[in-house]
């Protein structure tokens, strides 16, 4: 075949070409050779000499297709109205496929002749021009355009009515499985005929089908919802609605163009959920209170899909968790109230966290509600004027687990519980109170060697550090370090004794603590004449320490020291662990069996408070007898020579090491003092940078600065402001009573 | 008037759990300058006032108001001192000059504000402070017997570096 | 012997013996630590000069290292020698 332009007889060529076109468009058999010849004919016509015949070819083809589709329309109509969808679909299936082939047969015309005159994409999209209807189109597009004009336009109302009817039947479960393909195909034809367009290519689909369809769907679900509400209770209603939504989603996929999926869903949700929000919301409270998980799962997924649906449910959950928690904390009773408290809070937290994960797919807003509920339960004040005891109870709980007393639990179990207690810790507002109590209890555990394991102690400090930062645990860490380095210190001291060839006569160990890190009150300090038996140890150690640690001053805390005493004057030998002052008292009975209190106190130089406390403890242990009920200077103390005990090794320190109510009081008032200092510092800082501030603004700033450590009462802040006015750091401004200014 | 006690916010001891410094993470020179600023604001030496706001915003540059002491040649006059600190402070001395409209006429103060004072360069010690420098300058002014510029003033002012610390001072006269 | 001591565990605290409360260089309390440290005590010890002035070791070392020739006590300008 020659590609050279030549003279062509249009009529002859077209006649032959038209035959083939007819075959192609009706999907009849076209031999390969014929196809190739007609393909060349299209070329020859387009490049014909002396003038190209492309325009004529275009016009003839257009005319042909126009007639062809008009004939098809007649055929479709003649099959009767009842068969409209099916006939249309059959005609369309054949035509749309045929037009694709035809498009390929006219490749040369499409590519060379028509593309050249077309507007560029940019011109159409951005130039705001509509393509000229007179403009020539590629043959495929032309075919669809003609279909739209000659077939869809005249039939559209009937077609759409049948489509809506078909889908309606499908919703009622009466759909014919065979018509599903037809319905989808017909709907798809509305999309396909305009698919070639560069903009708004869904317009036809939307205008003739989607809009009436959405309208009809809305109506349907509106009625469906009221029908269901008449026959269902809320559980069933939600179940049905969920089912309906699921079905409708599948139905969309079955019939519609994907751009409609969300719109349909929105319609359903609007009429079945949003329109009945009041009803659904009204059911939330009992559902939450009875913790009907199945119902709540449905409720969550329904409410989540509509605006303003979920907040009420979140709130009901918050209230419910809070009520459950408050019931718990207000009914605690008995000895180990702190265990009950922490463990019931953990149970509460876990229960509702699990529920949120199961029922509300772990939704963060529900987790937030859980947090708020737990926080208000844990920080609840039974008496609004007295701060919550939770920080103290949590510290006690940790103490209980970390002490040797936590018997019957494996190390792993203890570790696990400690790890969980951090959950409660995070909710505590008054972290400073916890810090104070924890620090005192840690000090006692460490000094009195009551810690179950140093690893567990360290792990707990690290957990608190992780939760609240380095500064929070700074002192705990320092205390812990003091104890761990003491082994090394004692070894060095032993080596020193060896090198000096000194024998202390007793087994001696020591803890040397950094004064600043330990919460060791001054209240127990008393003068004390160290017994001769201990004197050498004290002197040697001081000598050693000063030679090793330049520039440090050592202070003995005898009230915290303890020792083991061997009693040889009884029927059996006993080994008793006791405190130094108790030891000192017993040691005085070496040469006599009775002494009066005044003598003892004068010899030991103890203050009366400490003296009485320790004498009382010895009397309670029955190691001593007294001549009077109360301990007075004249009371005569006697060794109990008949003393016996099942155990040969025991300790009598417990009563003295237990936390007394006074100590709790002291701890709390120490927290108060620290808070006042903290608040005053914060006020000075704020006023220094702001220079002048209204009362309320100042309060707000102070509150926001102290958040995370504790929540101060407004009256405490006011008192601190007053104190600073007295100290002349700030003053009231002359022009306004509720404004302060910084005094530089 | 009630006596002002040290405010809790600048108590030195970090053994207080509520030491304000724990809220501000800052380095050596910043923490020391903050402490100095606090004490200068709370207990300023007589006749010395620090512009706390300016210094609070930019710790590296302070302006200090200084009144001529009573009974001296400078009585009734007001001066402004500028302190500039490097990150090496207090191991490196601050750069101290008089600025503003009134530069004291003094045999050790050049008309561009530079001061010939040995503690500002070779005799600097980290134990010195803004307060002690101010006191030294007050006493340098107070002991002046005749208001006059240094003899080499016009030559020095023409040729010197902007930074007085770059000048190789020759501290000829210790009596003034 | 009626009563004999088998063992004894002493408890004592220590603090710095310093003439002043604060370090003359950093102005921080001796009970605390220098501005570059976090933990007071062993990690940030004090040292004394023969002139009996005392500083955080980190502070005096920073000062001595910044001086090329004369190593003087910041307080009294005597030649700095560590007290043994």
pLDDT of residue B16: 34
pLDDT of residue A523: 65
pLDDT of residue A270: 95
DSSP codes joined into one string, C9-66: EEEEEEEE--SSSB-TTT--BTTS--TT-S--GGGS-EEEBTT--EEEHHHHHHHHHH
- Kindly indicate the confidence band of residue C84, based on its pLDDT and cuts at 50, 70 and 90: low
Query: Which two three-digit tokens encode residue A394?
Result: 């949590």
Domain count, chain C: 1
User: For A662-742, CATH number?
Assistant: 1.10.10.10
**C-alpha–C-alpha distance, residues A114 and A371, integer Å:** 68
- Kindly indicate the confidence band of residue A385, based on its pLDDT and cuts at 50, 70 and 90: confident
Least confident of A181-190, A497-506, A709-718: A709-718
Yes or no, beta carbons of A681 and B18 under 8 Å apart: yes
CA distance B58 to chain A (A): 13
Per-residue pLDDT for A120 more than 70? no
- Kindly indicate the confidence band of residue A656, based on its pLDDT and cuts at 50, 70 and 90: low
In 3D space, the residue among C60, A545, A309, C19 whose CA is nearest the CA of residue B125 turns out to be: C60
pLDDT of residue A729: 81
Q: Per-residue pLDDT tens for A415-442? A: 999 999 999 999 998 898 999 999 999 9
Segment A485-496 shows an average pLDDT of: 93
Paired strand residues for C9: A509, A562
Segment A98-127 shows an average pLDDT of: 76
pLDDT of residue A372: 95
B16 Cβ under 8 Å from any chain C Cβ = no
With CA atoms as reference, the chain C residue closest to B123 would be C77
Yes or no, beta carbons of B91 and C66 under 8 Å apart: yes
pLDDT of residue A110: 86
CA distance C3 to chain B (A): 42
Buried/exposed A448-461: b ≥16 CB within 10 Å, e otherwise: bebbbeeebbeebb
- Kindly indicate the confidence band of residue B173, based on its pLDDT and cuts at 50, 70 and 90: low
Name which of A435, A685, A728 is nearest B9 (Cβ-Cβ). A685
With CA atoms as reference, the chain A residue closest to C84 would be A550
Name which of B5, B8, B22 is nearest A471 (Cβ-Cβ). B22
Going edge to edge, which strands form the sheet with A692-694?
Answer: A692-694, A739-742, A730-732
For tokens 């004692």, the residue is A490
pLDDT of residue B175: 47
- Kindly indicate the confidence band of residue B21, based on its pLDDT and cuts at 50, 70 and 90: very low
> Average pLDDT over chain A, rounded to whole?
89
Q: Per-residue pLDDT tens for A17-61? A: 999 999 999 999 889 999 999 998 888 888 888 888 888 899 999
B17 Cβ under 8 Å from any chain A Cβ = yes
CA distance A653 to chain C (A): 13
Yes or no, beta carbons of C10 and A556 under 8 Å apart: yes
**C-alpha–C-alpha distance, residues C25 and C23, integer Å:** 5
Q: Per-residue pLDDT tens for A141-166? A: 999 999 999 999 999 999 999 999 99
Chains contacting B with at least 3 CB pairs below 8 Å?
A, C
A474 Cβ under 8 Å from any chain C Cβ = yes
B56 Cβ under 8 Å from any chain A Cβ = yes
Per-residue pLDDT for A657 more than 80? no
* B116 a catalytic residue: yes
C-alpha dihedral, B86 to B92 to B93 to B97, nearest 10°: -30
CA distance C81 to chain B (A): 16
CA distance C1 to chain B (A): 46
> Average pLDDT over chain B, rounded to whole?
78
Yes or no, beta carbons of B5 and A677 under 8 Å apart: no
Which of helix, strand or coil describes residue A332?
A: coil
Per-residue pLDDT for A677 more than 50? yes
B63 burial class (0-12, 13-18, 19+ CB within 10 angstroms)?
middle
Per-residue pLDDT for B87 more than 80? yes
Yes or no, beta carbons of B17 and A475 under 8 Å apart: yes
Name which of C33, C36, C63 is nearest B126 (Cβ-Cβ). C63
Least confident of A192-196, A486-490, A709-713: A709-713
Yes or no, beta carbons of A511 and C1 under 8 Å apart: no
Q: Per-residue pLDDT tens for B128-143? A: 999 989 988 988 898 8
Measured in Å, how far apart are chain A's first and last C-alpha atoms? 104
Name which of C7, C17, C31 is nearest A516 (Cβ-Cβ). C31
Segment A390-413 shows an average pLDDT of: 88
Q: Which of residues 433-452 of A touch C (CB under 8 A)?
A: 447, 449
Q: What's this model's pTM, rounded to 2 decimal places?
A: 0.71
In 3D space, the residue among A72, A71, A47 whose CA is nearest the CA of residue A57 turns out to be: A47
Chain A positions in Cβ-Cβ contact with residue C12 (cut-off 8 Å): 510-513, 554-557
CA distance B13 to chain A (A): 9
Choose the mutation target among B7, B10, B14, B17 for the interface with A, i.e. most A CBs under 10 Å.
B17
Domain A390-548 has CATH 1.20.1310.10: yes
pLDDT of residue A117: 66
> What are A611-615's contacts with CB under 8 Å, separation 24+?
A611/A581, A613/A656, A614/A579, A614/A581, A614/A582, A614/A585, A614/A656, A615/A585
* Active-site residue, from B27, B116, B144, B160: B116
Segment A580-603 shows an average pLDDT of: 91
Yes or no, beta carbons of C3 and A447 under 8 Å apart: no
Chains contacting A with at least 3 CB pairs below 8 Å?
B, C
Q: Domains for chain B: give ranges and CATH numbers.
A: 25-161 (3.10.110.10)
In 3D space, the residue among A509, A510, A460, A508 whose CA is nearest the CA of residue A480 turns out to be: A460
CA distance A439 to chain C (A): 16
- Kindly indicate the confidence band of residue A134, based on its pLDDT and cuts at 50, 70 and 90: low
Residues in chain C: 84
Structurally, at CATH architecture level, domain A561-657 sits in 2-Layer Sandwich (3.30)
Segment A154-182 shows an average pLDDT of: 91
Chain C positions in Cβ-Cβ contact with residue A583 (cut-off 8 Å): 5, 8
With CA atoms as reference, the chain C residue closest to B31 would be C35
pLDDT of residue A381: 87
With CA atoms as reference, the chain C residue closest to A446 would be C11
Name which of C5, C12, C48 is nearest A565 (Cβ-Cβ). C5
Chain A positions in Cβ-Cβ contact with residue C6 (cut-off 8 Å): 506-507, 563-566, 575
Q: Per-residue pLDDT tens for A629-651? A: 888 888 999 999 999 999 999 98
Paired strand residues for A554: C14
- Kindly indicate the confidence band of residue B34, based on its pLDDT and cuts at 50, 70 and 90: confident
In 3D space, the residue among C74, A723, A551 whose CA is nearest the CA of residue B32 turns out to be: C74
Segment A330-351 shows an average pLDDT of: 91
Do the first three CATH levels of A10-201 and A561-657 match, i.e. the same topology?
A: no
Name which of B2, B14, B56 is nearest A726 (Cβ-Cβ). B2
Per-residue pLDDT for B6 more than 70? no
Yes or no, beta carbons of A510 and C3 under 8 Å apart: no
Domain ranges of chain A: 10-201, 390-548, 561-657, 662-742
Yes or no, beta carbons of C29 and B31 under 8 Å apart: no
Task: Identify the CATH class of A10-201.
Answer: mainly alpha
Torsion angles phi and psi, residue B78, rounded to 5: -125, 140
With CA atoms as reference, the chain A residue closest to B14 would be A516
CATH, residue C66: 3.30.40.10
Cis bond before residue B36 (omega within 30° of 0): no
Q: What domain range is C1 assigned to?
A: 1-84
Per-residue pLDDT for B22 more than 50? no
Q: Per-residue pLDDT tens for B61-85? A: 999 999 988 888 998 899 999 999 9
Name which of A674, A691, A729 is nearest B18 (Cβ-Cβ). A674
Could you tell me which residue, A526 or C31, shows the higher pLDDT? A526
């Amino acid at each position: 075949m020659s590609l050279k332009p030549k003279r062509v007889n249009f009529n002859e060529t077209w006649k032959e070409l038209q035959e083939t076109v007819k075959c192609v468009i009706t999907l009849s058999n076209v031999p390969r050779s014929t196809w190739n010849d007609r393909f060349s004919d299209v070329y020859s016509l387009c490049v014909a000499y002396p003038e190209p015949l492309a325009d004529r070819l275009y016009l003839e083809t257009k005319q042909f297709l126009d007639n062809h589709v008009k004939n098809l329309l007649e055929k479709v109509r003649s099959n009767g109205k009842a068969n409209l969808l099916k006939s249309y679909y059959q005609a369309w299936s054949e035509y749309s496929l045929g037009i694709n082939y035809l498009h390929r047969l006219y490749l040369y015309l499409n590519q060379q002749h028509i593309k050249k005159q077309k507007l560029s994409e940019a011109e159409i999209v951005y130039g705001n021009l509509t393509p000229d209807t007179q403009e020539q189109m590629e043959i495929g597009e032309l075919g669809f355009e003609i279909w739209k004009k000659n077939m869809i336009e005249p039939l559209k109302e009937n077609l759409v009515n049948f489509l809506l009817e078909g889908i309606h039947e499908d919703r009622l479960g009466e759909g014919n499985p065979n018509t599903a393909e037809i319905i989808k195909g017909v709907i798809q034809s509305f999309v396909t005929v305009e698919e070639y367009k560069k903009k708004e290519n869904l317009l036809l689909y939307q205008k003739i089908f989607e809009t009436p369809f959405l309208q009809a769907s809305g109506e349907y679900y509106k009625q469906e919802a009221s029908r269901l509400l008449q026959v269902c209770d809320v559980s069933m209603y939600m179940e049905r609605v969920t089912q309906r939504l699921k079905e409708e989603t599948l139905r969309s996929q079955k019939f519609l163009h994907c751009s409609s999926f969300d719109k349909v869903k929105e319609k359903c949700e609007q009429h079945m959920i949003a329109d009945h929000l009041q009803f659904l919301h009204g059911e939330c409270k009992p559902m939450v209170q009875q913790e009907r998980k199945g119902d709540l799962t449905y409720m969550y997924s329904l409410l989540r899909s509509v605006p303003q649906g979920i907040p009420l449910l979140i709130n009901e959950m918050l209230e419910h968790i809070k009520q459950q928690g408050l019931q718990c904390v207000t009914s605690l009773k008995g000895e180990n109230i702190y265990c009950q408290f922490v463990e019931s809070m953990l149970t509460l937290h876990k229960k509702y966290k699990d529920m949120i994960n199961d029922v509300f797919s772990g939704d963060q807003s529900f987790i937030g509600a859980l947090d708020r509920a737990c926080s208000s339960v844990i920080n609840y004040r039974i008496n609004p004027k007295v701060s919550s005891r939770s920080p103290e109870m949590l510290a006690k709980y940790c103490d209980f687990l970390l002490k040797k007393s936590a018997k019957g639990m494996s190390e792993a179990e203890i570790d696990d519980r400690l790890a969980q207690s951090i959950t409660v810790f995070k909710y505590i507002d008054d972290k400073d109170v916890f810090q104070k109590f924890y620090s005192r209890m840690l000090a006692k555990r460490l000094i009195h060697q009551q810690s179950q394991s140093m690893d567990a102690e360290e792990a707990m400090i690290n957990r608190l550090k992780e939760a609240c930062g380095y500064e929070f645990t700074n002192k705990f860490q320092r205390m812990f370090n003091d104890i761990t380095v003491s082994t090394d210190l004692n070894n060095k001291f032993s080596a020193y004794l060896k090198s000096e060839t000194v024998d202390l006569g007793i087994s001696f160990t020591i803890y040397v603590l950094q004064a600043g890190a330990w919460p060791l009150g001054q209240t127990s300090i008393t003068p004390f004449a160290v017994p001769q038996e201990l004197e050498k140890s004290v002197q040697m150690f001081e000598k050693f320490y000063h030679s090793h640690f330049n520039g440090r001053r050592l202070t003995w805390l005898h009230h915290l020291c303890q020792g083991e005493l061997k009693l040889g004057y009884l029927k059996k030998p006993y080994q008793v662990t006791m405190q130094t002052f108790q030891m000192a008292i017993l040691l005085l009975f070496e040469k006599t069996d009775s002494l009066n209190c005044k003598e003892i106190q004068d010899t030991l130089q103890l203050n009366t408070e400490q003296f009485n406390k320790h004498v009382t403890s010895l009397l309670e242990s029955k190691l001593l007898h007294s001549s009077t009920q109360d301990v007075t200077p004249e009371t005569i103390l006697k060794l109990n020579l008949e003393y016996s005990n099942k155990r040969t090794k025991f300790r009598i320190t417990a009563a003295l090491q237990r936390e007394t109510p006074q100590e709790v009081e002291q701890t709390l008032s120490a927290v108060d003092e620290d808070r006042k200092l903290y608040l005053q510092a914060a006020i000075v800082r704020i006023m220094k940078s702001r220079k002048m501030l209204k009362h309320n603004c100042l309060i707000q700033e102070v509150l926001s600065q102290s958040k995370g450590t504790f929540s101060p009462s407004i009256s405490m802040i006011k008192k601190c402001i007053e104190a600073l006015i007295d100290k002349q750091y700030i003053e009231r401004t002359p022009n306004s009573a509720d404004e302060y200014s910084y005094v530089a | 008037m009630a006596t002002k006690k040290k405010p809790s916010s600048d108590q030195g001891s970090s053994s207080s759990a509520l030491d304000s410094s724990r809220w501000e993470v800052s380095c050596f020179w910043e923490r020391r300058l903050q402490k100095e600023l606090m004490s200068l604001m709370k207990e300023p030496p007589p006749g010395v006032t620090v512009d706390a706001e300016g210094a609070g915003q930019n710790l590296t540059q302070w302006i200090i108001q200084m009144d001529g002491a009573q009974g001296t040649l400078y009585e009734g006059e007001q001066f402004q001192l500028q302190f500039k600190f490097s990150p090496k402070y207090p191991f490196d001395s601050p750069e101290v000059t008089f600025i503003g409209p009134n530069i004291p006429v003094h045999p050790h103060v050049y008309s561009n504000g530079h001061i010939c004072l040995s503690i500002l360069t070779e005799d600097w010690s980290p134990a010195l402070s803004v307060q002690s420098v101010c006191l030294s300058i007050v006493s340098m002014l107070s002991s002046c017997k005749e208001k006059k510029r240094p003899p080499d003033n016009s030559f020095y002012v023409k040729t010197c570096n902007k930074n007085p610390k770059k000048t190789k001072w020759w501290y000829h006269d210790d009596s003034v | 012997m009626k009563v004999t001591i088998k063992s004894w565990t002493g408890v004592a605290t220590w603090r710095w013996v310093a003439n002043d409360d604060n370090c003359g260089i950093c102005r921080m309390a001796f009970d605390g630590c220098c501005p570059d440290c976090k933990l007071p005590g062993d990690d940030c010890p004090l040292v004394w000069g023969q002139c009996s002035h005392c500083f955080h070791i980190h502070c005096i070392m920073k000062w001595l290292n910044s001086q090329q020739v004369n190593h003087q006590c910041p307080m009294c300008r005597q030649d700095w020698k560590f007290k043994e």
